[in-house]
Structure 1
Amino acid sequence: MSEAKMKELRSDIEELNELLKQAKRKRAQDLLSLEIRKLETEWLNLKESAQSSQAGTSPAPSTAATSQPKRYQIKLNGYGWDQSDKYIKVFVTLKDVQSLPKEQVYCKLTDKSMELHVENLDNKDYLLVINKLLDSINVEESHWKQKTDMVVIFLAKARPNIKWSHMTELEKKFEDQRNSKLKPATPDMDKADPQESIMSLMKNMYETGDDEMKRMISKAWYEGQHKKKSDTLDL
């Protein structure tokens, strides 16, 4: 039963990870990451229970084999963030993290990256890595705090009072590319033939317009073509 349940959980975790890769909204990413962490914790608990059951039915282990159980590292993907004039504040949710000694919760910082390490929380190690921050940080003035079920990292801005639009360079690049694709192309009226520019503009309006706009453009196109044929016949 435990093996079937573990297999089912692993399939759910893999599918949620695929959805996380496709998610674009930050709130959706946070929700998916939280659910993945819950399922990973449940999977690990089942695995440990299964291992304990097997150990209970086997001969008593030797003294050398009764060492500390192996700890698993879990890489975190979800986090929240906010900012003030001086700090970028990163929020990482971890149940009971406030119970750990301070030396087991620490960050490794550079001017453009951060790593949060949480060691031996319920026999698991947690790691959050954020590379290529949007702007530089002041490592010396940065710090972190353990709170109830949460770690808050205060990344001191190297340039205070500068607002960050995104957390990382990659997020900003992705947003810029998406906006450039959505932005309609405008013809160069100075260089292009006037008739060609009008046709290009009408085509763009038709492709990006709603049903009513498309209907009006189609009607104008039909009437224009009909008028050309009439003028030719008159000649």
Structure 2
Amino acid sequence: MAAIDELKKDLEEVQSLLEKTTRNRIKNVLQNEIEKIQEEIKKAENQSNNATSTETAQVQQTVKPRIPQTPTVSITSYAWDQSEKFMKIYATVKDIQSLSKENVQCEFKTRGFKLLVKELDKKNYELHINKLMEEILPEDSYFKIKTDTVLLMLKKKEQGKTWPYVTEREKKSKEEKKPKFDEKSDPNESLMSMLHQMYEDGDDEMKRTIAKSMYESRNKQAGGMGGL
């Protein structure tokens, strides 16, 4: 812009001189200079406009519109059942039946699967298990969409085999909680400790059974001491 301003000042100066001179030869020289300066101004303005357009285009290419990412929610709980041929996983996803089937995908592997539900109420839902308890046949496994539920049908590789757990992690977690009998300590104390742990981890029926057993055991011990 500074160069253009200087050229315009030169133009004004030459035009002023043209108005003052009375000599034709000088007028012709000044007129030629005016045309030359006007051409330089036009060329400089075109270059400036092109540079501005290029900068604008580069900025538009650099600053891309930000596309908001859809949040993904992990499905952390599920129900399960099994038959001789299939391990069945029931993943609860509210209003899943309203979604197009193309938005529900499941990748099955020999020891795992990945369920992905896309764009449901502006969220994605995912259930991913890496280590199943047993092997499955991926090519024969499939899923069904039901009301508020995705039913995964995992075809067992070893048909007729009952899975005690769905995953290896579940097996490890359950086994770590199992009460252990300490052979080095007092047998009665170890037994009572084991029963107490079973009582804490058990359901209502288990608690009633253990409570009854402990009550009878105490009565038997009290009766034996009374006989002495």
TM-score (norm 1): 0.53
Q: Give the direction of change, closer, same or farther, for the CA distance of 1:201–1:97 in structure 2 (3 Å limit).
A: closer
Residue 187 of structure 2: which of 201, 205, 225 is its match? Answer: 201
Letter in 1 for 2:190: N
Give the corresponding residue for 1:177. 176
Whether 1:136 and 2:122 are equivalent positions in the alignment is no
Match of 1:84 in 2: 83
Aligned pair count? 148
Larger Rg computed on CA atoms: 2
Deviation at 1:177, TM superposition (A): 2.4
Letter in 1 for 2:82: Q
CA distance in 2, matches of 1:109, 1:165: 21
Provide the residue aligned with 1:145 in structure 2: 144
Aligned mates of 2:82, 2:189 — CA distance in 1: 43
- Give the alignment's TM-score, normalised by structure 2: 0.54
1:107 and 1:206 map into 2 onto residues whose CA distance is 47
Q: Equivalences for 1:31-70 in 2 at 5 Å?
A: 69-70=68-69
Find the residue that maps to 2:140 and give its secondary structure.
Answer: strand
Say whether the 8 Å CA contact 1:137–1:158 is kept in structure 2: yes
CA distance in 1, matches of 2:103, 2:70: 14
Match of 2:116 in 1: 117
Unaligned runs of 5+ in 1: 1-63, 188-198, 225-235
Alpha-carbon displacement from aligned partner over 1:58-80 (angstroms, at most 9, x marks no partner) = xxxxxx99876541111110111
User: Among the aligned pairs, what percent are the same residue?
Assistant: 32
Alpha-carbon distance change, 202 to 91 in structure 1, aligned in 2, over 3 angstroms: closer
Tell me, in whole angstroms, the C-alpha distance in 2 between the residues paired with 1:206 and 1:141. 48
- Give the CA RMSD over aligned residues: 3.2
3-state DSSP of counterpart to 2:162: coil
Mapped to 1, the partners of 2:89 and 2:75 lie a distance apart of: 13
Q: Give SS of 2:177's match.
A: helix
Tell me how far apart the structure 2 counterparts of residues 104 and 205 of structure 1 sit (CA, whole Å): 54
Is this contact kept in 2: 1:93–1:150, CA < 8 A? yes
| 1:107-142: CA deviation from partner (whole Å, max 9, x where unpaired) | 112111111000111111111111210000000000
Distance in 1 between the 2:148 and 2:189 partners?
55
The answer on whether the counterparts of 1:206 and 1:213 sit within 8 Å (CA) in structure 2 is no
Specify the alignment match of 1:99 in structure 2: 98
